[in-house]
Amino acid sequence: MLLTLTYTGQNTTDLGYLLYKNPYRPQVFNLNHGKAYVFYPEASHERTTAALLLDIDPIDLARGKVGTSGGGLFDYVNDRPYVSSSFLSTAIAKVFGTAMTGRADTHQALSDSPLNLAATVTMLPCRGEQEKLKTVFEPLGYDVTYETFVSDENFPNWGNSKYVTLTLSGRVRLRDLLKHLYVLIPVFDRHKHYWVGADEVEKLLRMGADWLPNHPEKTYITGRYLSRRRLLVNMAFERLSAANVLDGEVIADEPDELEELEEPEATEEAIAQSKIEEQKEPDKKMNLNTQRLGSVVAALKSCGAQRVIDLGCGEGNLLFLLIKERQITQIAGVDVSHAALERANKKLKLEQAGDALRDRVTLFQGSLTYKDARFAGYDAACVIEVIEHLDMSRLAAFERVLFEFARPPVVVLTTPNLEYNEKYETLDALSLRHSDHRFEYTRAEFREWASDVAKKHGYAVQFSEIGDLDAKLGAPTQMGVFTLCE
């Protein structure tokens, strides 16, 4: 499968800076089921094209990966290696992840501007839904053309195949084009190669934040992206509505005619993948984690908090410590990931616990970037190693949700110090610590952001550093403790 991105105008080889891929150096990336190649079929002052070619291993797909016991994802004879599908979305996120965030160190202004861009997606499956290509892509500002193919030239009466080669062109920011493709390719191709779980709702809302809430086909897109799983679709709709209330506009529509589907068992593949994603730098991290959580508990104790909410609680490491603190009478844990909350539930043994502990601890699913009345009423909120998982463009929503609406008297917030990454052997100076991190702040950047937030919302903020201190680079974790000034 092949995706090309063409930039026309002036100095168009700058596309290389936006994609972080040198036009004169082809590159190969390893994917779970094959390889991705990035190269530039043309690069000139007026017109530059970057190509992402996926070489998916059909045997691997059919048999399962070497070393795993489970079967493969698809039958031996399948179209997956050749068509544009969720594999392509996954590759876009992996290979052009930074471009999707909009970060372009040396060429930020260019990245922030709409450019004359065209994308061609070869062999996109879309049986009988060609008219949807227009109603889905045109409202996003694209001219839409597509080429169809006869199924078999020897048998013209078999008609056209279900595949089209789609070309979108328009004046858009590169990051928006990539996000549109990321979400909408699997909307047309219906077979996701991974388990569609609650985390997909978050991915959809994150990738669609700027364009989905007001899209005339949002019902269709949401239903198809989430493989018509009613529970997930409802969850997404609730959140889309909440998002719009925050923006002063309400969406009234409901998803219609969704098929009720049994939830399939998670495949071994999906489970293995989620385990890989969850692994964070193992050794050093253990120690740093303990130090970090110790500092957070100390900050909470010193401000006398009794009711504490942990926003983005993950698998409940902080909650586990808070339970041991007698001073703390009410504890809530919130996370967007259902799987993380289930692990927290297990870790805290809430199922087996007596009424006293169950009354004291609440876990619930929610997102920090949507206004939520359940976040209010606590003496302190903790946001530990979470902000770097939010898209920069959603950081402003998070600030309002926490500091303007929930407005706790104290906020304890930690985030990695980007400068310190130099000390990790496996990371170079510009790499982030975890593949899901959208950004990391240097000490100066964090202080500037936090001071700005504090000022805007009437808080004072104090900073500290956690972990082994390096004279030049600082400590691995930075903490801000905000206190409400009223």
Q: Please tell me whether residue 117 binds ligand SAH under the rule CB under 6 A.
A: no
Q: Please tell me whether residue 319 binds ligand SAH under the rule CB under 6 A.
A: no
Q: Please tell me whether residue 401 binds ligand SAH under the rule CB under 6 A.
A: no
Nearer to ligand SAH, 161 or 317 (CB): 317
Q: Please tell me whether residue 312 binds ligand SAH under the rule CB under 6 A.
A: yes
Q: Please tell me whether residue 4 binds ligand SAH under the rule CB under 6 A.
A: no
Instruction: Read off the tokens for 227.
Output: 């493989």
| Residue of 212, 258, 313, 361 interacting with ligand SAH (CB under 6 A) | 313
Q: Please tell me whether residue 101 binds ligand SAH under the rule CB under 6 A.
A: no
- Measured from the Cβ of residue 113, the count of other Cβ atoms closer than 10 Å reads 12
| Residue of 198, 319, 386, 401 interacting with ligand SAH (CB under 6 A) | 386
Q: Please tell me whether residue 415 binds ligand SAH under the rule CB under 6 A.
A: no
Q: Please tell me whether residue 467 binds ligand SAH under the rule CB under 6 A.
A: no
Q: Please tell me whether residue 314 binds ligand SAH under the rule CB under 6 A.
A: yes
Integer Cα distance of 349 and 320 in angstroms: 10
Q: Please tell me whether residue 379 binds ligand SAH under the rule CB under 6 A.
A: no
Q: Please tell me whether residue 274 binds ligand SAH under the rule CB under 6 A.
A: no
Q: Please tell me whether residue 239 binds ligand SAH under the rule CB under 6 A.
A: no
Nearer to ligand SAH, 49 or 337 (CB): 337
Q: Please tell me whether residue 393 binds ligand SAH under the rule CB under 6 A.
A: no
Integer Cα distance of 91 and 197 in angstroms: 19
Q: Please tell me whether residue 368 binds ligand SAH under the rule CB under 6 A.
A: yes
CB of 374 to ligand SAH, least distance (A): 12
Tell me which residues in 326-345 interact with ligand SAH (CB under 6 A): 335-337, 340
Q: Please tell me whether residue 389 binds ligand SAH under the rule CB under 6 A.
A: yes
Residues of this chain that bind ligand SAH (CB under 6 A): 312-314, 317, 335-337, 340, 367-369, 384-386, 389-390
